[in-house]
Structure 1
Amino acid sequence: MPPPPTLPPPTLRLEDAMPDYDDETKKLMAEADEARKALTEVSNRIVELDSSIRDAESYLNGDFGVDSAWAPLKGKWLELDDSQYTYKLCLFERAVQKEKNGHMETNLGYWREWSGGENDKYKEQKYDKGQGCWNGPERSTRVIVECGEETELVEATEPAKCEYRFVVRSPAACPDPATITDVHEEL
């Protein structure tokens, strides 16, 4: 004997599930929706302001070299193309490598500190804690800073596995002319 036919489950429509509220309840519900929307907007604005405050505090506490010469360059992106990659450096933030034929960026490290020697502290920057290498360390980048007419990334190499070396030239790296004592006069 065949099983008895089954009926499909009833389709529940939203209009059927929600009772028809009176006008005053509908008005209160609309006001509650508006209040929730306003609360969300205010909450989002608070998050934005907190982020701006953290950024400003980080900026104020940052070490931007002698006379804060590097301060205007914080967050400036510098790029250098070679045959296989585009290297990018966001000053005082991070270094990345992007394959020319791909869309993925490899993190080469986050800003850590000025790492030049005792007398040349502002001649080198350190970026570390980048993406881990396959069976290797986390990537890191050493940025050598040189005096130049324009702020530009002029060299990017990988002298050791997952250890990168960038060279940046910038007027911010040039000595203050008032401090130069090795001046000679032409006859």
Structure 2
Amino acid sequence: RSAVLLVFFSLVVVLNASVIGVPESDTTLYEGELFTCRKSGETIQKAMVNDDFCDCQDGSDEPGTAACSNVITLSSYEVPHQKGFYCQNKGFKPSFISNSFVNDGICDCCDGSDEYNSGINCEDTCKEKGKEELQNVMQEIHMHEEGAKHKLTMIEEAKQLRPSLQRDLDLARIKLDELREKLVELQAKEEKAKGINDLAVEVHDDDSDDYIREDEEADDEEKMIRRADPERISQRRQFEEKYGMTTQDAKDEYKAAKAEVKTCNKGIKDEETRVEQFEKLLNTEFGPDDEFLPLRGQSISTRAGGYNYELRVFESALQGSTSLGNWNGWKEKNTKMSYTGGKRCWGAGDREAEVTVVCGITNTLSQVDEPSTCSYTMVLQTPAACSLEHAAALRLAYDLAADEEILDIDDQGNAKNFGWFF
């Protein structure tokens, strides 16, 4: 009997000290004999708060019960703070759950506070959860701190790469100008050769029935006589004397001139593509200190689902030899890459890939998935995405000494041991 009274007394103290389901910062809203509904504005008696009956239109009088769960929802209940039932979760971190979860027989808060009146005895798992989270935080801190060291090397490398790329662009532009000037000369040469060729065709390729081409084999006496026609011989001789070449040579020269123009045009198109690529590359966002620049063109591979995947950073993504797309810019600045225009996929359009970039001590590719047909996702771990500022913020938030070596992890970021914490 005394034990029952003690439990009852403790519950009364808790209820009087604070309002169930409300964070400490909001308890002042529930002080006094009257309560003003937080959104809808009605005024009710304090005794009507958490009485398991919905009195306020906005449901704010029942933060600690499920009575207004059809009104108080995580997605629509607008209050200055987060929504739902507040779990204090001492030893871990506070959280909010939907009011419909309160006293439903399932332990949702790690401290079990959501089941205060269901008869369920919830084990307090907050300390274990806190320990697990701290382990993850320690791992993340070390990942960023170690990765940032490699990032400095990448930044130094980028300082050399950018001027080099600019020189390559300048040289490509010079070569493009030279090719365009050469094309003008070759076109003039082609036009001249064409004029001579046209005359040669009249002499060399006469379509009349009595003419036999010079390269045609004469298999009877009549054809030999026609080939030896004095007038035709005279025309060919005059052509050779005037142009210094046979009619066949004239045709061959025109053919060669056309080929030179075609080759030059192809060279111009190729060089225009190079110039465009260099310009696009130099205008690409590579981070505040160009830390992502050294990744350009690097091939990073992995195997998933029976396929080989290859990411040529800032260039293309492949599944085996099948294109998953070419670099199309950042979908989210320095965090998500977009590769589009891959090989056509039946019924789903062109293949594409989205690459999420996260901190890693080495450059690795992982977590390849195909969430929808021919649309792929993968994760690129790289030191370029690591941040000392992020590590420092985590140390501050979790009160971890800035100069304390807290974790030992391998190149993939997996913990090998956990130092002082364990």
2:324 and 2:259 map into 1 onto residues whose CA distance is 41
Which residue of structure 2 aligns with residue 6 of structure 1?
Answer: none
Q: CA deviation at 1:15?
A: 1.3
Counterpart secondary structure, 1:66? coil
Q: Which has more helix, going by share of residues?
A: 2
Counterpart secondary structure, 2:246? helix
C-alpha change, 1:110 and 1:44, in structure 2 (3 Å) is: closer
2:357 and 2:301 map into 1 onto residues whose CA distance is 15
C-alpha change, 1:31 and 1:92, in structure 2 (3 Å) is: same
User: Cα deviation per residue 1:141-169 (whole Å; 9 max; x = unaligned)?
Assistant: 22111222322213312233333211111
C-alpha change, 1:170 and 1:14, in structure 2 (3 Å) is: farther
Structure 1 position 167 matched with structure 2 position 379: yes
User: Is the CA contact 1:148–1:171 (under 8 Å) kept in the aligned structure 2?
Assistant: yes
Which residue of structure 1 aligns with residue 354 of structure 2?
Answer: 142
1:35-46 correspondence runs (5 A): 35-36=257-258, 38-46=260-268
1:27-176 correspondence runs (5 A): 29=250, 32=254, 35-36=257-258, 38-82=260-304, 84-98=306-320, 105-116=321-332, 121-136=333-348, 138-175=350-387
Aligned residue identity for 1:107: S
User: Is the CA contact 1:149–1:169 (under 8 Å) kept in the aligned structure 2?
Assistant: yes
User: Is the CA contact 1:153–1:167 (under 8 Å) kept in the aligned structure 2?
Assistant: yes
Question: TM-score if structure 1 supplies the norm length?
Answer: 0.67
Q: CA deviation at 1:36?
A: 4.5
Q: Which has more strand, going by share of residues?
A: 1
When the two structures are aligned, how many residues end up with a matched partner?
165
Which residue of structure 2 aligns with residue 15 of structure 1?
Answer: 215
1:61 and 1:31 map into 2 onto residues whose CA distance is 45
C-alpha change, 1:109 and 1:45, in structure 2 (3 Å) is: closer
Q: CA deviation at 1:59?
A: 1.2
C-alpha change, 1:73 and 1:26, in structure 2 (3 Å) is: farther
1:70 and 1:77 map into 2 onto residues whose CA distance is 14
1:180 and 1:89 map into 2 onto residues whose CA distance is 28
Q: CA deviation at 1:14?
A: 6.9
2:350 and 2:288 map into 1 onto residues whose CA distance is 30
Which residue of structure 2 aligns with residue 102 of structure 1?
Answer: none
2:312 and 2:357 map into 1 onto residues whose CA distance is 14
User: Is the CA contact 2:284–2:329 (under 8 Å) kept in the aligned structure 1?
Assistant: no
| Identity across the alignment (%) | 28
1:14 and 1:171 map into 2 onto residues whose CA distance is 73
2:213 and 2:368 map into 1 onto residues whose CA distance is 62
2:365 and 2:276 map into 1 onto residues whose CA distance is 28
Aligned residue identity for 2:275: I
Larger Rg: 2
User: Is the CA contact 2:308–2:319 (under 8 Å) kept in the aligned structure 1?
Assistant: yes
Counterpart secondary structure, 2:285? coil
The RMSD of aligned alpha carbons is 3.5
User: Cα deviation per residue 1:76-124 (whole Å; 9 max; x = unaligned)?
Assistant: 32221235211122222322212xxxxxx333233333233xxxx3122
Q: CA deviation at 1:134?
A: 3.4
Which residue of structure 2 aligns with residue 25 of structure 1?
Answer: 245
